[in-house]
Amino acid sequence: MSRRTALCAAAAFLVVAVLVAAFVGAADLNPLATAAALIDKAAPFLHLPTSLDPLDKAVLFQIRLPRVVLGALVGALLALAGAGYQGVFRNPLVDSGMLGASAGAGLGATLAIVYLGGAGPQVVPVAAFVGSLAGVAVAYATGAAASRHTVLSDGVATLLLAGIAVGSFLTAVQTFVLQRSASDIQAVYSWLLGSLSAASWQQVTTILPYAAVSSAILLLHGRHLDVLAVGDEEARALGLRPGLTRAIVVAASALAAASAVAVSGLIGFVGIVIPHIARRLAGPAYTGVLPLSLLIGAGFLVLADTLARTVLSPAELPIGVVTAFVGAPAFVWVLRGTRHVGT
Amino acid sequence: MNTPLRLAAFAAAAAACATALAACGASASSTTPASTTTPASRTTSSAGSQAGAASATAAFPVTVKAGNGEVTLKSYPTRIVSLSATATEDLYAVGAGSQVVAVDQQSDYPAGVPKTSLSGLTPNIEAIAKYNPSLVIASQDSGGLVAGMTKLGIPVLIEPAVATIAAAYAQIEQVGQATGHAAKAVTVATGMQRQIAANVKQAGASHQGLTYYWELSANPFYSAASSTFIGQVVGLFGLKNIADKASKPSDGGYPQVSQEYIVTARPQIIFLADNQAADGGQSPAIVAKRPGWSGIPAVQHDEVIGLNDDIASRWGPRLPELVGEIAQAVEQASK
């Protein structure tokens, strides 16, 4: 598939996913009335009448739509961060939670829940965001310091290993804190499982600036990642500064993942699966993988969340269950047809 | 059930043994000597038969059928460790408070309980043994608690979360028997029963027209269906639970409910059992500000009730207080 076709297909997939998500839900809103209400909102000058009563309208515009939009944002950010990390580490196994990002977010959220519980619900996302960024910063600094004395051939492996060490350490601290406060276990695990259940426009507007900045930086670094793919020495010969590029892409990926995690908790599988699907569609070049990951990730998470909130309607499933249940078989399918998995 | 007689209890025990023998014919021969070696002990079941009346210490040895099977206490327990907040409340209510030497970190009622850093969820056998207990009460057998304590020869009573209101009374009575306060426990249980009946009578038991939503947590939204203990408590007033439609057998009566559904189900009363929730407490004011919730009748008519989370999540002697709060809300909403 040519890159242009793939991009068009991915965009169409996202549009379809959003439309499906906007029309289904536990509230069982009349589809025609919903369509009329949506068109009326988009083009108020048409004065289109809708049979939705005020409560139904509130459900559509205050509960369902922000959830769809937030799902798209989170999916796009996780997939983009995953693609960024995979490119910078030249390793197909890394995902958006790498380098202590997930572990740091988990520790931040746990500390906020256990020690700042009374301070209100808005504290947890901030703590998760800060924790995620701090986790990456510590892992990166540790890895960079270690790589000066490393026996490993390149700094990338050292960074990844430092990330694993820092992640394990942060998770140990998180578990220790949690074990000392049994009453908070339910709240912490609910957060760790990830959820978009309480999505609001406020959450959308809160993460939008971070999402825009990190996405823009990542999308602009596609070419750099492609050059980096041939190796540090060769990249340097081509006039690139590998260390600087790595730092910028890691920072942008960390920012993207942290913004997503802050509003949704730890949603697994998106950050690792989606870049591979993008690669399968349009080849390994990051100039294509990055924008495709953004679009497919957004559409995928919107659909996954739609399943999460409709399969057992009016009950819900944790979204992590759906992303893994749908994502794991999709991953296997992608792997079977992928010849060059690396980069 | 509130006129305990030695003889009646003994007859009940004999009947229970007979039933057990009949039920498992194969193991009958092995069960018989066991039941005859302890002729003085009285077997009682968690269904609520009890014995007492004699002085506290004279009642021992006593055998009760707890969540972990039959437990025999050879003598009056003078040093009790409680690893369950509900059990702690039970112990103090039945008059065993002076025997309690340590309670877990969740136990916070009544005031002045000997709170320690012990955990009922991840119990540390050595830390518990340090208190030299003659009885340990917990709500679940996690971390090998029963096996560990049994090795040390310390009896453990597992008093798990109950499924029915009758079982809540029976549990209090059992705690009374095991601690030498059987008669007081019966008085406590019947007192609770009387108080709850009075509340239900005043507010009315047939409000089938009223719907409610019971919130256990807000992100994600977890509720309790009618089949749960709490569902039965609210069910005393005949209210309709909006979570029933969302509950599947696999969720144990605690479904994660879609926010869209909560709003369009238009509940007339909302009970918040997550006011001190760890991830940020809710309150009627916060609920009113949730996007899209302003059209819910409960929000419009000020029928969002912020409960005491502790009372709403335990099944102990303060149950009538919870019923009282619910009764008040029901009366208000049905005006």
> A208-229: per-residue pLDDT in tens?
999 999 999 999 999 999 998 8
Closest residue of B to A310, CA-based? B258
Instruction: Please tell me the distance from the alpha carbon of residue A238 to that of residue A224, in angstroms, as a whole number.
Output: 10
* Residue A118 CA: distances (Å) to CA of A115, A173, B177, B215, B310: 8, 21, 39, 18, 15
For residues A122-150, average pLDDT: 86
Is position B236 within any domain? yes
Please give the residue that has the higher pLDDT: either B112 or B33. Answer: B112
Short-list B196, B277, B273, B213, CA closest to B247:
B213
Is position B198 within any domain? no
* Same domain as B187, residue B222: no
Domain encompassing residue B106: 6-192
* Same domain as B64, residue B165: yes
pLDDT-derived band at B56 (thresholds 50, 70, 90) equals low
* Same domain as B182, residue B310: no
* Same domain as B209, residue B188: no
Is position B197 within any domain? no
**Tokens 């169409």 belong to residue:** A12
* Same domain as B150, residue B44: yes
| Domain's final residue, options B192, B217, B238 | B192
Is position B1 within any domain? no
pLDDT tens digits, B153-184: 999 999 999 999 999 999 999 999 999 999 99
**Shortest CA gap B28–chain A (Å):** 43
Q: Contact A58/B280, CB-based, under 8 Å?
A: no
For residues B104-129, average pLDDT: 91
* Residue A256 CA: distances (Å) to CA of A292, B29, B34, B157: 16, 69, 67, 51
Evaluate if residue A337 carries a pLDDT over 90: no
pLDDT-derived band at B3 (thresholds 50, 70, 90) equals very low
Instruction: Please tell me the distance from the alpha carbon of residue A122 to that of residue B94, in angstroms, as a whole number.
Output: 42
| Domain's final residue, options B138, B164, B192 | B192
Is position B115 within any domain? yes
* Same domain as B145, residue B26: yes
Contact assessment for residue A132 and residue A199, using Cβ atoms and an 8 Å cutoff: no
* Residue A198 CA: distances (Å) to CA of A131, A318, B287: 21, 12, 12
Q: Where are the beta strands (DSSP E) in B196-258?
A: 211-218, 221-223, 240-241
Of A36-50, A325-339, B249-263, which has the strongest mean pLDDT?
A: B249-263
Q: Contact B260/A25, CB-based, under 8 Å?
A: yes
Query: Half-sphere exposure of A264 toward its Cβ, with a 13 Å CA cutoff?
Result: 32
Contact assessment for residue A10 and residue A76, using Cβ atoms and an 8 Å cutoff: no
Q: Where are the beta strands (DSSP E) in chain B?
A: 43-44, 62-66, 69-73, 80-82, 100-103, 135-138, 156-158, 211-218, 221-223, 240-241, 269-272, 304-306
Which residues from A are below 8 Å from B245, CB to CB? 314
* Same domain as B248, residue B167: no
Q: Is the pTM of this model over 0.95?
A: no
CATH at residue B106: 3.40.50.1980
Closest residue of B to A61, CA-based? B292
Which candidate from A28, A58, A183 shows the least CB-CB separation from B292? A58
Evaluate if residue A46 carries a pLDDT over 90: no
Of B36-50, B212-226, B269-283, which has the strongest mean pLDDT?
A: B212-226
pLDDT-derived band at A119 (thresholds 50, 70, 90) equals low
Q: For A3-336, which CATH class? A: mainly alpha
DSSP string across B167-187: HHHHHHHHHHHHHT-HHHHHH
For residues B89-113, average pLDDT: 95
pLDDT tens digits, A68-111: 999 999 999 999 999 999 998 888 888 888 888 899 999 998 89
Instruction: Please tell me the distance from the alpha carbon of residue B324 to that of residue A104, in angstroms, as a whole number.
Output: 44
* Same domain as B178, residue B268: no
Is position B41 within any domain? yes
Distance from chain centroid for Cα B195: 17
Average pLDDT, chain A: 88
Please give the residue that has the higher pLDDT: either A294 or B247. Answer: A294
**Shortest CA gap B174–chain A (Å):** 26
- The per-residue pLDDT for A334 is 75
Evaluate if residue B37 carries a pLDDT over 60: no
Average pLDDT, chain B: 84
pLDDT-derived band at B23 (thresholds 50, 70, 90) equals very low
Which candidate from B120, B218, B263 shows the least CB-CB separation from A63? B263
Least confident of A115-119, B103-107, B191-195, B299-303: A115-119
- The per-residue pLDDT for B67 is 93
Q: Which of B211, B221, B258 to mutate to test the interface with A (most CBs of A within 10 A)?
A: B258
Q: How many residues does chain B have?
A: 335
For residues A193-205, average pLDDT: 89
Amino acid letter at B74? Answer: K
Which candidate from A59, A185, A315 shows the least CB-CB separation from B292? A59
Q: Contact B106/A183, CB-based, under 8 Å?
A: yes
Domain limits of chain A? 3-336
pLDDT-derived band at A255 (thresholds 50, 70, 90) equals very high
* Same domain as B215, residue B163: no
Q: Which residues contact B206 (CB under 8 A, 6 or more apart)?
A: B238
Contact assessment for residue B70 and residue B89, using Cβ atoms and an 8 Å cutoff: no
* Same domain as B211, residue B152: no
Structural domains counted in chain B: 2
* Same domain as B258, residue B127: no
Contact assessment for residue A265 and residue A323, using Cβ atoms and an 8 Å cutoff: no
Evaluate if residue B6 carries a pLDDT over 80: no
Least confident of A49-53, A211-215, A241-245, B4-8: B4-8
DSSP string across A80-115: HHHHHHHHHTT-TT--TTTTTHHHHHHHHHHHHHHH
Contact assessment for residue A266 and residue A129, using Cβ atoms and an 8 Å cutoff: no
Tell whether ipTM is more than 0.90: no
